[in-house]
Structures are given as C-alpha cells and as structure tokens.
Amino acid sequence: MIPLPFIALTFAISLAGFVCILAIPAARSPESGIGLPIWLLMVWGPSLAAIILCLRDGQLVDLLGRVVKVSTVPLVVWALVAAPLIFLILLGPFAPDTGSPLGMGLLASMVLFNLILGPLGEELGWRGYLQEHLNSRIGWLAASLLIGAIWFVWHLPLWAIDSPHAQIAIPLFAGHVMCYAVIIVAAYTLSGGSILPAILIHLTVKLASNLAIFWGFRDPNGWFGTSLWLYLALAIVSIGTVYVRTGQAGWQLPSF
C-alpha cells in the first residue's frame, strides 16, 4: 500500500544528512557555511526522493507542474494559507511576555530561510508524491493521518541535536503535525492536486511559530500549547469543507 521505495529513499537521504550533522561539529547550525548544505540535504529528503522516483517513472514534469498550478486553487484554500498568521494575530494579546520589534530585513530573510529549509524540501514528497499514491487506496483523510505519523517520525532525530524543535514538547509537536497534515491535505484536495497551497500553508505555519517569539511567546511550548486548539478546530473545519465541496469522506477500505 505504502510506496516503500519513496519511504526508504526519503529516510536514507535525510538520515545521511543527520549523521553528517552529528559527526561534524561545524555543521550543527544551518546558518553556517558548512552546515547549510548538510541541513538542506537532511530537510530535502522527501522532495529529492520524489524527484528521483518521478524522473525514473517519467512523471517529473507533472510533479513540477503541480507546484505552480494556481488556476484550480479556490478562495477557501487561500483562507487556509492565511489562517496560521491570523491565529498569531488573535493570540497575540495572550502572549505571556513582552513583544520585540521585527525589521523588514529580518522578516524577509525569515521567509526565505523557512521556505528553503522546510516546505520546498518536503512538500513535493509528502503531498506531491506520497499523498497522491495513497489517495486512491485509502482516501485523502486516512492518507493524511498516515503521512502525518510518518512525517512526525521523520522529524524525531531533531530532538537528538540542539535544534529549535528540541525545545518543543514532543506530544505538543505530534499534535500539531497531525493537524497540519489534515489541513494541508484538505487544501491539496480542494485544489485538485496543486502542491502550491501545501507549500504555502507549510510556510505560514513555520512563520507563525517563528514570529510568535517576537509577539511575546518566548517559550515555544507556550505558542504550541496555546495554538493547538485553533489548529485542531481548523483541521475539523477543513474535513467538513472537503466533504461539503467534493462529497469525499476521505476514508475507504485499502485498495491493493
């Protein structure tokens, strides 16, 4: 049911990068000249695996075409893209600490950094390849939950090094990842298989968690704990929206 070559290749690429980070002290930070290419290798495991397998199968043009497919993205999906930043604005007054200013230069670099070390390296694989393979077999919702679990496990090595993820309680992160998986795949489904909304939602999710520090959520667990309920509510709304607009419950018996 699960395309094992994709899973094996994804984890092999990412773990190779992780081992290099462990072995090379100068590579521990992605902000260093030595660290950046190694972190890119680790983060880009899913997308690189998808590109390699699609190139083998003659489907690379289709995969890349769905990255820039805009015409099928409905207005409701753009609302899902904006939702994480709206959550940040709504929760700002409840931040436990005083906020700090954020310059436009830092904001621009934050957007670029999060785009490259995140959604571009992951979404061609998780949603563009794996979701597409599982949809017809078990349904979009079941597939999103399965991929969410794999996605969570793929992140776990980050708790073994001094990374921003290691500051987040694992159960909180797991809850967020499962909500993100449902929201992103709902947007993917509503957009007719366009990968663009998946990339953008992944980006705004990361930006919101980064910007929360400047809003006054100094402890990442404060932001992840406070915002989890909003993301859970959005995931439930997303499931209902897909059903109303497409008639897809998202769950079916496996088709082998």
What's the pLDDT score for residue 230? 98
Q: Residue 208's domain spans which residues?
A: 70-246
CA atoms within 13 A on the CB side of 42: 23
Does residue 75 lie in a domain region?
yes
Residue 1: the pLDDT is 67
**Which pTM does this prediction carry?**
0.95
Domain total for the chain?
A: 1
DSSP state of 44: T
Q: pLDDT tens string for the chain (256 positions)?
A: 678 999 999 999 999 999 999 999 888 888 778 889 999 999 999 999 999 999 999 999 999 999 999 999 999 999 999 999 999 999 999 999 888 888 899 999 999 999 999 999 999 999 999 999 999 899 999 999 999 999 999 999 999 988 888 899 999 999 999 999 999 999 999 999 999 999 999 999 999 999 999 999 999 999 999 999 999 999 999 999 999 999 988 887 665 5
Taking the CA of residue 221 as centre, how many other CA atoms within 13 Å lie in the half-sphere pointing to its CB?
7
Contact 35, 26 (CB under 8 A): yes
**187, 80 Cβ separation under 8 angstroms:** yes
Domain presence at residue 14: no
Asked if residue 5 is part of any domain, the answer here is no
- Looking at the domain assignment, is residue 150 inside a domain? yes
Does residue 63 fall inside a structural domain?
A: no
Residue 19 placed within a domain: no
In whole angstroms, what is the distance from residue 79 CA to residue 133 CA? 26
The answer to whether residue 236 is domain-embedded is yes
Domain membership flag for residue 13: no
Residue 194 pLDDT: 97
Q: What is the pLDDT of residue 176?
A: 98
pLDDT for position 120: 97
